[in-house]
Amino acid sequence: MFTSNVGPLDRGIRIVIGLVVLSLLFIYPTSDWRYAGLLGLVPLLTGLAGTCPLYSMLGLSTCPTQRG
Protein backbone atom coordinates (compact mmCIF):
# COMPACT_ATOMS: atom_id res chain seq x y z
CA MET A 1 0.00 0.00 0.00
CA PHE A 2 2.60 2.55 1.10
CA THR A 3 6.26 2.52 0.16
CA SER A 4 8.58 2.12 3.12
CA ASN A 5 10.43 5.40 3.62
CA VAL A 6 11.53 5.11 7.26
CA GLY A 7 14.88 3.46 7.94
CA PRO A 8 15.63 1.13 10.86
CA LEU A 9 17.25 3.75 13.12
CA ASP A 10 14.46 6.23 12.40
CA ARG A 11 11.86 3.54 13.14
CA GLY A 12 13.43 2.72 16.49
CA ILE A 13 13.59 6.36 17.51
CA ARG A 14 9.97 6.93 16.48
CA ILE A 15 8.77 3.90 18.46
CA VAL A 16 10.65 4.95 21.61
CA ILE A 17 9.45 8.57 21.38
CA GLY A 18 5.90 7.41 20.71
CA LEU A 19 5.91 5.13 23.75
CA VAL A 20 7.40 7.83 25.98
CA VAL A 21 4.85 10.45 24.93
CA LEU A 22 2.01 7.92 25.10
CA SER A 23 3.02 7.09 28.67
CA LEU A 24 1.88 10.60 29.66
CA LEU A 25 -1.66 9.20 29.51
CA PHE A 26 -0.84 6.95 32.45
CA ILE A 27 1.50 9.24 34.38
CA TYR A 28 -0.86 12.25 34.37
CA PRO A 29 -4.35 10.71 33.98
CA THR A 30 -6.30 13.71 35.31
CA SER A 31 -4.36 16.66 33.87
CA ASP A 32 -4.26 18.22 30.42
CA TRP A 33 -1.12 16.20 29.64
CA ARG A 34 -3.30 13.19 28.92
CA TYR A 35 -4.37 14.81 25.64
CA ALA A 36 -0.76 15.51 24.71
CA GLY A 37 -0.12 11.84 25.38
CA LEU A 38 -2.40 10.90 22.51
CA LEU A 39 0.04 12.62 20.14
CA GLY A 40 2.41 9.74 20.91
CA LEU A 41 0.28 7.57 18.63
CA VAL A 42 1.59 9.40 15.54
CA PRO A 43 5.29 8.52 15.86
CA LEU A 44 4.44 5.09 17.27
CA LEU A 45 2.22 4.15 14.32
CA THR A 46 4.57 5.59 11.69
CA GLY A 47 7.45 3.69 13.30
CA LEU A 48 5.54 0.43 13.37
CA ALA A 49 4.25 0.85 9.81
CA GLY A 50 7.64 1.90 8.43
CA THR A 51 6.15 4.71 6.40
CA CYS A 52 5.68 8.41 7.09
CA PRO A 53 3.10 10.40 5.11
CA LEU A 54 5.03 13.64 5.67
CA TYR A 55 8.19 12.07 4.26
CA SER A 56 6.17 10.94 1.23
CA MET A 57 4.83 14.44 0.62
CA LEU A 58 8.31 15.97 0.90
CA GLY A 59 9.99 13.21 -1.12
CA LEU A 60 12.28 12.19 1.75
CA SER A 61 13.42 8.74 2.80
CA THR A 62 15.71 7.42 5.53
CA CYS A 63 15.72 3.88 4.15
CA PRO A 64 19.06 2.58 2.96
CA THR A 65 19.31 2.08 -0.79
CA GLN A 66 18.52 -1.44 -1.91
CA ARG A 67 21.13 -3.19 -3.98
CA GLY A 68 19.93 -5.41 -6.73
What are the pLDDT digits (tens) for 44-67? Answer: 999 999 999 999 899 888 988 754
Percent of the chain with pLDDT strictly greater than 90: 51
Q: Is the pLDDT of residue 1 over 70?
A: no
Domain that holds residue 27: 8-49
pLDDT band at 68 (very low <50, low <70, confident <90, very high): very low
Tally the domains of the chain: 1
Kindly list the distances between the CA atom of residue 64 and the CA atoms of 19, 37, 39, 53, 61, in Å, as whole numbers in the listed order: 25, 31, 28, 18, 8
User: Measured between alpha carbons, how far is 38 from 59 in angstroms, rounded to an integer?
Assistant: 27
Note whether residue 44 is domain-resident: yes
Is residue 65 assigned to a domain? no
6-37 pLDDT tens trace? 999 999 999 999 999 998 888 888 877 777 78
Question: 50 φ, ψ to 5°?
Answer: 80, 15
Distance in angstroms (rounded) separating the CA atoms of residues 40 and 44: 6
- Alpha carbon 21 to its chain's center: 11
**Residue 59 counted as domain residue:** no
